[in-house]
């Protein structure tokens, strides 16, 4: 007679279900894209990539990871998580590599929490720093979308899809700010889970109320999306895509936001679909947009490879 599943089995089962969903979503989206494009044109476009452009894109990825580590370190400083800059860079690099090696895009965060807790850091404080860092990235993206919004009509014409996206993103950013300044009252609750949510709000409020940390952190968040988009532009120009460099700076940031959603393996599939749609507004054929997205995924993987060595060294 079989035994009923225990409470410990339920998280394990949900984890496997999530993994199966992300793998299926990744291959489904990629399959649909490949079915509707001429993959020979895609590979021929990728073959045009020069070595110099590839190396420059890798260098930009390395800078992007370092900038992300600085942003997270500023967040840690604002909420009193003791962390030296080099430690922040090491843990952030490991996270970047793990997010490529593990299914989903948040697996690396779990590994970061585990490694830092093993090193003596409070797991709750580390978790708060990571959540606040993610929220800071959204705020930075929202501001970047506002700055680039005046340039959108010259690319997409009368289409209101980007304007709708900008409004939704700004509403989300506004919700984060409101949550930060009013959610800390949840710390007074008698329920542990509610107090934990209140702790996150309090951590966000402390970052926003400390300009010497909050302003540079938001600036780093904006720079992250700018550099990611610039590296895409370097690849696209090298491959001969007809889009201009500034087109990538305007169109690509929302794509990278979609790519970090935990619905695919390391953002693959979602990023390609988003890039095909976004660069399509600039008149780039789907085959060529797919080529630049795949090339960026490969360059990104190469750029975070040092994180694998740091991970092995920490085991």
Answer for the pair 79, 206: CB distance below 8 angstroms, yes or no: yes
Give me the pLDDT at residue 77, please: 94
Give me the pLDDT at residue 1, please: 47
Residue 222 lies in a domain: yes
Number of structural domains (the chain) is: 1
314 vs 251 pLDDT, higher one: 251
Give me the pLDDT at residue 296, please: 94
Query: In which region does residue 49 sit, left (phi positive, over 0), alpha (psi from -120 to 50) or beta (all else)?
Result: beta
Residue 113 lies in a domain: yes
> What average pLDDT score do residues 226-233 get?
96
Lowest mean pLDDT among 81-90, 178-187, 281-290: 178-187
Using alpha carbons, select from 167, 168, 141, 175 the residue that is nearest to residue 71: 141
Give me the pLDDT at residue 226, please: 95
- Out of 26-35, 73-82, 106-115, 176-185, give the one with best mean pLDDT: 73-82
Domain span at 183: 41-310
3-class SS letters over the chain = CCCCCCCCHHHHHHHHHHHHHHHHHHHHHHHHHHHCCCHHHHHHHHCCCCHHHHHHHHHHHHHHHHHHHHHHHHHHHHCCCCCCHHHHHHHHHHHHHHHHHCCCCCHHHHHHHHHHHHCCCCHHHHHHHHHHHHHHHHHHHHHHHHHHHHHCHHHHCCCCHHHHHHHHHHHHHHHHHHHHHHHHHHHHCCCHHHHHHHHHHHHHHHHHCCHHHHHHHHHHHHHHHHHHHHHHHHHHHHHCCCCCHHHHHHHCHHHHHHHCCCCCCCCCCHHHHHHHHHHHCCCCCHHHHHHHHHHHHHHHHHHCHHHHHHHHHHC
Using alpha carbons, select from 113, 166, 176 the residue that is nearest to residue 139: 176
pLDDT > 90? residue 171: no
Which pLDDT band, with edges at 50, 70 and 90, does 143 fall under? confident
Residue 83 lies in a domain: yes
Give me the pLDDT at residue 302, please: 92
Residue 28 lies in a domain: no
Backbone angles phi, psi at 3, to 5 degrees: -85, 150
168 vs 11 pLDDT, higher one: 168
Using alpha carbons, select from 227, 236, 234, 228 the residue that is nearest to residue 282: 236
pLDDT > 70? residue 267: yes
Which pLDDT band, with edges at 50, 70 and 90, does 170 fall under? confident
Residue 231 lies in a domain: yes
- Mean pLDDT of all residues belonging to the chain: 83
pLDDT > 50? residue 8: no
Taking the mean position of all CA atoms in its chain, how far away is CA 249? 16
pTM of the model: 0.83
Taking only the tens place, the pLDDT of each residue in 247-258 is 999 999 888 887
Residue 8 lies in a domain: no
Give me the pLDDT at residue 39, please: 77
Distance, in Å, from the CA atom of 47 to the CA atom of 291, rounded to the nearest integer, reads: 9
> What average pLDDT score do residues 64-86 get?
94
Give me the pLDDT at residue 102, please: 65
pLDDT > 50? residue 40: yes
Give me the pLDDT at residue 216, please: 96
Residue 13 lies in a domain: no
Give me the pLDDT at residue 79, please: 92
Taking only the tens place, the pLDDT of each residue in 122-139 is 988 999 999 999 889 888
Residue 30 lies in a domain: no
């Amino acid at each position: 007679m079989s035994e009923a599943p225990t409470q410990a089995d339920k998280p394990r089962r949900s984890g496997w279900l999530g993994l199966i969903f992300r793998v299926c979503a990744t291959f489904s989206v990629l399959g649909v894209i490949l079915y509707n494009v001429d993959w020979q044109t895609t590979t021929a476009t990728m073959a045009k990539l020069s070595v110099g452009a590839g190396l420059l894109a890798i260098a930009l990825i390395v800078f992007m990871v370092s900038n992300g580590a600085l942003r997270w370190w500023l967040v840690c400083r604002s909420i009193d998580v003791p962390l030296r800059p080099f430690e922040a860079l090491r843990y952030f690099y490991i996270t970047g590599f793990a997010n490529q090696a593990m299914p989903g895009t948040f697996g690396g965060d779990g590994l970061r929490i585990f490694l830092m807790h093993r090193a003596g850091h409070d797991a709750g404080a580390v978790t708060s720093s990571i959540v606040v860092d993610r929220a800071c990235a959204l705020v930075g993206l929202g501001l970047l979308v506002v700055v680039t919004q005046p340039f959108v009509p010259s690319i997409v014409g009368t289409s209101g899809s980007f304007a709708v996206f900008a409004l939704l993103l700004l509403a989300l950013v506004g919700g984060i700010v409101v949550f930060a300044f009013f959610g800390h009252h949840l710390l007074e609750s008698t329920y542990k889970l509610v107090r934990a949510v209140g702790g996150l709000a309090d951590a966000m409020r402390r970052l926003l109320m400390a300009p010497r940390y909050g302003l540079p952190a938001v600036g780093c968040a904006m720079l992250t999306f700018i550099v990611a988009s610039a590296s895409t532009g370097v690849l696209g120009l090298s491959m001969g895509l007809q889009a201009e460099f500034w087109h990538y700076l305007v169109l690509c940031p929302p794509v990278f936001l979609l790519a970090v959603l935990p619905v695919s393996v390391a953002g693959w599939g979602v990023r390609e679909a988003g890039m095909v749609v976004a660069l399509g507004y600039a008149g780039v054929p789907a085959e060529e947009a797919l080529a630049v997205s795949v090339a960026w995924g490969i360059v990104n993987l190469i750029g975070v490879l040092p994180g694998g060595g740091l991970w092995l060294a920490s085991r």
